[in-house]
Structure formats: C-alpha cells, structure tokens
Amino acid sequence: MIDTQKEYARRQQIPLYWHNKSSDLRAAAGSVWYCMEQSRKVCIAEELNLPKGFDIEVAAWPVYRMLCGLSLELIYKAVIVAKNEQPNNTRNLAELATTAGIGLDKNMRGVLDLLTEGILWEGKYPSPNKIGHANIEKFSTLHKEKLFVRTMLGSSEIFTPRIPNPLSWEEFSIIWNFGNRAYWEKIDSSI
C-alpha cells in the first residue's frame, strides 16, 4: 500500500515531477493552439460534434491562456525545487520567475502579469475562488495593453492585434524555454 503522505512529500521535492507536469500542460496548450487555427477549427468542431456555429477559437482562447500560465508556473517552480528551495504558494508568474533566477524585461513581465490574471480569471471556475484574489479591471487592462496596439483615428480609439501576438504558440514557447533552460542548467550543475 502506498503511503500517501510520503508520496506527496516525495513529489513535492523532486524537480522532475514539476518539470514533467509543466511539459504536459505546455503540450496541452499547444494542442489547443493548433485546434484554433483557421484551417482546422471548423473541421475539429465537426469531428467533436459541436453545435453548428460553435467557434472553437472563441471557446479555447481562455483555456489556452490558462494552460500557458499554469505551465509557466510549474516550470518556474521546477527550477526553484531544483535549487533545493520551496516554491512560494503563489500563482504570480513574475514573482516565481524572479525567484527562479529568470531575468524579465518589461514586455515579458507584462505577459507574465497577463497570464497570472488569466490563471485566476480563466481557471476551472467562472471567477476566482476568492473575491480579493483578482481584479477584473486589471485583467482587462493587461489584456488590452499586451495584446493590442492603441491607435487614435480622429477622436476614436482603434485597437488592432499586436503582431506577433505575444501569446502565440511561438512567442509563448520562447518564454517557456527560458524556464526550461534554467531548469536543465540547474539540473546539469547539480550532477
């Protein structure tokens, strides 16, 4: 019979468990990303027998962002555990990246802040589990600032998507790979 407490403690202390779960969440995010592609989304909706007019892209964006955020949370915590430290009980990705020793520029910090809010607002519930845990206005502002370019046309504001999209699969992979490299550097240095 497995001792649940010992197994829990063991998994908390072995960085590979954290890394593997991060990799799994990243793979799931990538699967969702590719399901949202214009050339695939209608076919996938049909294969899943979703109602006519169901837009996978609209439905999947929040899930994609949540999976990206959770994957980053775990890769940063993997680095922290590899440093023989206990990760903070937080979802604040910028704080975790800093604790893991990953340098952040202003843009990366902004994307991490957006994904942190995404974990809270786009998690498994329709709202954060506690009212004081997140601010919908902050989430909305970060979303607009990080994913769109504001342009004035006369007296009207126009928001156009940033290119490249800071949360595209390619851009997300760059951010995730900073954590992955830090993890393997820490593992290699401890061997």
Q: What is the pLDDT of residues 35-58, one digit of tens each?
A: 999 999 999 999 999 999 999 999
- Measured CA to CA, the distance from residue 142 to residue 84 in angstroms comes to 33
The mean pLDDT value for 59-79 works out to 97
Give the start-to-end residue ranges of the domains of the chain: 4-189
pLDDT tens digits for range 85-131: 999 999 999 999 999 999 999 999 999 999 999 998 888 888 887 77
Kindly report the average pLDDT of the chain as a whole number.
Answer: 93
Q: Is 28 exposed, middle or buried (0-12, 13-18, 19+ CB in 10 A)?
A: middle
CB burial string 39-67: b at 16+ within 10 A, e below: eebeebbeeeeeeeeeebeeebbebbbbb
Q: What pLDDT is attached to residue 108? A: 95
The mean pLDDT value for 121-144 works out to 82
- Positive or negative, the Cα torsion across 52, 144, 167, 22? negative
CB burial string 176-186: b at 16+ within 10 A, e below: bebbbebbeeb
The mean pLDDT value for 17-30 works out to 98
- Measured CA to CA, the distance from residue 15 to residue 173 in angstroms comes to 20
